[in-house]
Structure 1
Amino acid sequence: MRALARVGLGLVLALATASGALAQPRPLGDFGRPKPSVWHDEVLPALGSGRARLFGEGGSDLIVTDAEREMADRLWRYEISPHAADWVFDASAELRRVRIASSARAKLDLSRYFNWLKSTGYASSGTRFRTVADHVRADIDLLPQAFAAICAVMELDAQRAYAASQLAVADARLTRQVALRAQDNAIAITRFVALLEFRHASYLYALDRLLVESPDPSAREADGRIADLEIWVGEALAGRFCHAPGFLAGRAGQEALPGRVLMGRGDEDAGLPRK
């Protein structure tokens, strides 16, 4: 019976793949947050849950809280890149989200963003550097809300674990479901940190190569923005989600010290690094 169920689910997924339905990116609204969609919010998650159960991948059936929905929506913005769709992984990210391909991992190729910039028909070299600065700023602008959402879910998981430990009558199944949900949330957070680190590395990769191929004074702004993003990456890697937004808010309007682009006298007009 289990084998037949796998075959049946496999046929459904195969038909959906053949029709291109699984490859459709999740529709987005303001600030890169997903729009409501029956297909993406109900049908695909149901298929993914069935696949996960059949293959013994666990998962929790606890009620999904508002805080967890908020975190999922906030972090989705970093799974994809609505401002540069050619270098992202919309389809594979969606399949991971709904657990149809929960073990799949997109190949994180640092050259993709640079290749996208290079192949895009910009009118000037400065425009490419300004594009990088704009993209980094777009990532940074939404990080305070993403960190706050993660912090809320971490506190929620702690509250669940404590409440489960205080049950008058022990409930092994419920306790396991609490642990599984905490594990699912931790995986989502770990994935976010890895993607944030990847985005920062991709921007650096692009900046370094643009400085070689088409130096321009506009590189200074991009360099400063990337240095700001590096601070957020460091906080994320350290797991400081509940304090980083307040700490970094004091930096509003300040430019990070340039790292890659150090202009000297006589070099500004040429856009060359200082020797």
Structure 2
Amino acid sequence: MSLTRGTQTKKSIAATRCAIGRKRPVLVLGILGLAAVSACTRPTGDFGRAEPSELHDNLLPDFGKALRYTTQQTVSTFNLTDDEKELRNRAWALIAPPSSSDWIGITTTELRRTGILPEKYLWIDPEKYYEVLRSEKYRSSETRYNRIVRDMESDRTLIAPYCEIARRVAAADKERRLALERRPAPTSDDVAGVYARLEENDDVTRWVLGMATIRLKAYRHAKNTLELETPSKEKIWSANHAYNALTQEYIMLFEDCGLEQGQEVVAEGPLKSRILQGWGQESPPPQK
């Protein structure tokens, strides 16, 4: 085809904008239908990265762009770089609810990711993780400890690779902004497209940072509740150790994950302190 995907998206957005203005009831039904469709979990591959999907990669995002365009929100029609695609794919495992059985949380997360659901309507309950874990039947009560440790260790392995991509995207965004400044007479579309993409890329990492608090809170609630329900000196030590290691990895995420805007704020520490605020101190591990 001679048209690029960016051109196709612009035309799709413009056409949808006109249709939305005339068909509000149809729009509402469409959103409800998309919500039902997106309840199917987004396919993931190795390291929790999202796998290609026509529904989740094209149909839902295009609909979300059209919605944001009609409400005068920031929309970029630029094509994504390879790193920007990888950033979004790797982010999925870190922004999704900790429990894969939390289908309401997963659905609302996907609708938020694709721009269909406004950010203010997204709420992930950190206690849902343990509710699901508690309802699952195991032969040994200590299996739940093993599950929490495994999930925390899995999260920890995802953070450094994500940060590597985030830093590359931030460097490219800096060059993108400088390239715009070098243009003698950039068009309004050029300016809008660049700053929309800068905001979109920052939003991905800011969302990952925000979910860090939720995920840590979910794991902390789960291990502390298990310590009350099914005490195990050895297993709670393992859970505390995994939790502390994950916390340190998330602190690295807050300090050095390549935000294009507001990097100085992250470096000064407010976001870092927000992870641990009000959570108290962990009990020291038992002496072996």
Tell me the TM-score normalized by structure 2.
0.78
Counterpart in 2 of 1:84?
99
Deviation at 1:12, TM superposition (A): 5.0
* Structure 2 residue corresponding to 1:41, chosen from 31, 52, 57: 57
Question: Which of 248, 262, 272 is equivalent to 2:285?
Answer: 262
CA contact (8 A) 1:133 1:222 kept: yes
1:145 is aligned with what amino acid? P
Match in the other structure for 2:173: 157
Structure 1 residue 160, shift from structure 2 partner: 0.3
**TM-score w.r.t. length of structure 1:** 0.81
2:240 to 216, 219, 223: 223
Judging by fraction of residues, say which structure has more helix.
Answer: 2
Superposition misfits of 4+ residues, deviation over 4 angstroms: 1-4
CA apart distance, 1:154: 0.9
Unaligned stretches of 5+ in structure 1?
Answer: 243-257, 266-275
Shift of 1:4: 5.3
Q: Which amino acid aligns with 1:187?
A: D
Per-residue deviation, 1:35: 1.9
Asked if 2 retains the 8 angstrom alpha-carbon contact of 1:208 and 1:260, the reply is no
Q: Does the 8 A contact of 1:71 with 1:146 survive in 2?
A: yes
8 Å contact kept, 2:219–2:243: yes
Shift of 1:8: 3.2
- Report the AA paired with residue 226 of structure 1: Y
Partner of 1:234: 251
For 1:123-202, what aligned pairs fall within 5 Å after superposition? Answer: 123-202=139-218
1:205-242 Cα distance to aligned partner (Å, 9 max, x none): 1111111111112121111111011112222233x126
Q: In structure 2, what residue type is equivalent to 1:232?
A: E
Measured in 2, the distance between the counterparts of 1:183 and 1:10 equals: 31
**Percent same amino acid among aligned pairs?**
22
In 2, Cα distance between equivalents of 1:53 and 1:136: 38
What number of residue pairs does the alignment pair up?
Answer: 248
Residue 29 (structure 2) pairs with residue 14 (structure 1): yes
Distance 2:242 2:127 in 1: 19
2:230 aligns to what?
Answer: 214
> What's the RMSD between the two structures over aligned residues?
2.4
Change in CA separation of 1:132 and 1:96 when aligned onto 2, cut-off 3 Å: same
> Pick from 75, 78, 103: which aligns with 2:119?
103
CA contact (8 A) 1:79 1:90 kept: no
CA distance in 2, matches of 1:45, 1:56: 16
